[in-house]
């Protein structure tokens, strides 16, 4: 264990960070329904579902009420550890359950490089990715998938040895099952597995002589089918809508993932684009704007720094995942909204590829003059990223890099606090500065009321009757704040001078 002292230090630091900050995060738009649905799935399996539970889990309703389209397994697991349904405890659990992502990045790098300092770059750079660390506490849908997808890729890398075939089938069956349950794009893992195993077979002269191409293909297909069977069994058993009518509902889910009919405007490059009619540049623009610049640089420069590109098996598997998902995005044009959160897993892949590229740069170019220059530039950019992590807290998911002018430059050009996490801070300001104990105060908030009402004092009530509303809270998304007289603005939750939630005194 002593040789992994740096990892242990990181784990301790991460847990300290989690326990110090878990109460800081506000409730985001989707959290209430996801935790509620997770509780429904828990009752479905263990205590007997109510009629409302069955309606949530089995009834086919159009979006945004289409809860049957989402697997609620992670929410059910969370409910086991949080019987009192405290949102603060949910946020703490989300932080803790994301820890395997950081551990997997470390051990994957350590297996390849046998260097603890290089291996530590994995968890450190993931942690210093603001959009990821900002989403972990409150985004249970996309982070759970990012974790399971990443663990699947790392497991493919670790389990290339065919002597452990039974263990490989069982572990990949479980991880693939979780991934394809959390997001249908998890099915891309089978392509990546097949391509990677085939590459290993072709590049190994002894395997080609011992097995032969047809024997290899037969065994590979049998293994893949076995993994698919276990994964689909997990998916079916944990998803009541699918198990209620398999395979018809299974194919319903596959079709719905490509044509999810949820239309909403997303502010991008100063214009509102519609989620069902996204321009081709939507995803690359958002990824470029929301990732630290040094990571973008090393990702793009990876072909330069990796001298043996096709012999670097760790890079190859993650680059394959990158390419497969690019192709799927182009071919199937999935519906994306809420900035780039649906492709958070994709950003994790890019971060890891950039980390490998940086590791190769450190190992292969340290004797060249450019080495110290680039390290200085990386250090400077890291300081800016760390500054943003501190000053944006707890809204790190509103991070934009220096190329777009940070959050200030992104304001009115991109979505900022699209999930209403800053309502918590707005309510706390109201309670401290405006709410007395003399009467009942009526409060209106845009978006999901739970983002504000959870933090109300006993004499605060939510209301949409503007004839009696005392104060209104509104984020800047969809320009809903413009429904109020801007002269009645009394306060704004801000970061870098950018309003995230605005408070209006209506009386």
Query: What are the sequence ranges of the domains in the chain?
Result: 2-374, 423-505
User: Within a 10 A sphere around the Cβ of 23, how many other Cβ atoms?
Assistant: 14
Buried b (16+ CB within 10 A) or exposed e, 390-400: eebebbbbbbb
Residue 495 has pLDDT above 90, yes or no: yes
Q: How confident is the model at residue 391 (pLDDT cuts 50, 70, 90)?
A: very high
Q: What is the pLDDT of residue 99?
A: 98
Residue 214 has pLDDT above 90, yes or no: no
Q: What is the pLDDT of residue 60?
A: 60
CA 191 to chain centre: 22
The predicted model scores a pTM of 0.95
Cα separation, 266 vs 289, whole angstroms? 15
Q: What is the pLDDT of residue 249?
A: 85
Of 101, 114, 228, 215, nearest to 162 (Cα)?
215
Instruction: Give residue for tokens 């950018």.
Output: 498
Q: What is the pLDDT of residue 65?
A: 53
Q: How confident is the model at residue 139 (pLDDT cuts 50, 70, 90)?
A: very high
- More confident call, 344 vs 311: 344
Q: What is the pLDDT of residue 208?
A: 60
Q: What is the pLDDT of residue 226?
A: 97
Instruction: Give residue for tokens 């493919």.
Output: 156
What would the pLDDT profile of 187-203 be if each residue is shown by its tens digit? 999 999 999 998 888 87
Residue 85 falls in which region: left (phi positive, over 0), alpha (psi -120 to 50) or beta? left
Q: What is the pLDDT of residue 258?
A: 65
Q: How confident is the model at residue 260 (pLDDT cuts 50, 70, 90)?
A: low
Q: What is the pLDDT of residue 334?
A: 83
Q: What is the pLDDT of residue 162?
A: 64
Cβ contacts of 380 within 8 Å, gap of 6 or more: none
Q: What is the pLDDT of residue 14?
A: 98
Residue 132 has pLDDT above 70, yes or no: yes
- More confident call, 278 vs 288: 288
What would the pLDDT profile of 419-430 be if each residue is shown by its tens digit? 899 999 999 999
Q: How confident is the model at residue 416 (pLDDT cuts 50, 70, 90)?
A: very high
- Which residues of 297-440 form beta strands (DSSP E)? none
């Amino acid at each position: 264990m002593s040789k992994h002292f740096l990892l242990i230090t990181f784990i301790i630091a991460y847990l300290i960070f989690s326990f110090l900050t878990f109460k800081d995060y506000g409730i985001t738009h989707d959290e209430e329904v996801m935790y509620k649905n997770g509780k429904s799935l828990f009752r479905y399996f263990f205590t007997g579902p109510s009629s409302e539970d069955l309606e949530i889990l089995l009834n086919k309703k159009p979006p945004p009420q289409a809860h049957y389209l989402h697997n609620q397994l992670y929410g059910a697991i969370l409910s086991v550890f949080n019987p009192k349904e405290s949102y603060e405890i949910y946020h703490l659990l989300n932080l803790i359950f994301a820890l395997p992502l950081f551990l997997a990045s470390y051990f994957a790098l350590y297996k390849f490089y046998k260097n603890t300092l290089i291996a530590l770059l994995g968890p450190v750079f993931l942690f210093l990715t603001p959009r990821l660390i900002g989403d972990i506490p409150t985004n249970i849908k996309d982070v759970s998938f990012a974790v399971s997808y990443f663990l699947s890729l790392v497991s493919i890398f670790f389990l290339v040895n065919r002597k452990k075939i039974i263990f490989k089938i069982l572990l990949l069956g479980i991880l693939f099952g979780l991934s394809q349950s959390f997001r249908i794009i998890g099915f891309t893992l089978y392509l990546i597995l097949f391509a990677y195993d085939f590459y290993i077979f072709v590049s190994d002269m002894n395997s080609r002589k011992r097995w032969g191409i047809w024997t290899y293909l037969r065994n590979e297909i049998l293994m893949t089918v076995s993994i698919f069977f276990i994964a689909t069994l997990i998916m079916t058993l944990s998803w009541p809508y699918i198990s209620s009518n398999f395979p018809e509902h299974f194919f319903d889910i596959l079709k719905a993932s490509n044509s999810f009919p949820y239309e909403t405007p997303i502010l991008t490059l100063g214009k509102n684009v519609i989620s069902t009619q996204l321009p081709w540049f939507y995803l690359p623009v958002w990824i470029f704007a929301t990732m630290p610049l040094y990571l973008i640089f090393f990702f793009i420069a990876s072909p330069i720094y990796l001298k043996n590109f096709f012999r670097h098996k760790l890079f190859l598997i993650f680059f394959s995942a990158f390419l497969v998902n690019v192709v799927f995005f182009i071919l199937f044009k999935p519906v994306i909204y809420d900035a780039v959160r649906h492709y958070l897993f994709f950003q994790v892949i890019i971060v890891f590829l950039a980390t490998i590229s940086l590791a190769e740069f450190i190992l292969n170019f340290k004797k060249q003059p450019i080495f110290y220059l680039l390290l200085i530039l990386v250090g400077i950019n890291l300081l800016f990223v760390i500054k943003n992590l501190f000053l944006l807290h707890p809204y790190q998911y509103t991070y934009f890099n220096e190329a777009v002018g940070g959050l200030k430059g992104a304001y009115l050009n991109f979505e900022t606090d699209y999930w209403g996490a800053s309502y918590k801070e707005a309510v706390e300001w109201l309670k401290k500065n405006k709410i007395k104990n003399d009467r009942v105060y009526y409060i209106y908030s845009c978006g999901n009321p739970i983002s504000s009402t959870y933090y109300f004092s006993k004499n605060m009530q939510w209301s949409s009757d503007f004839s009696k509303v005392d104060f209104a809270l509104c984020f800047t998304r969809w320009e809903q704040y413009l429904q109020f007289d801007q002269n009645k603005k009394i306060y704004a939750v801000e970061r870098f001078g950018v309003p995230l939630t605005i408070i209006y005194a209506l009386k």
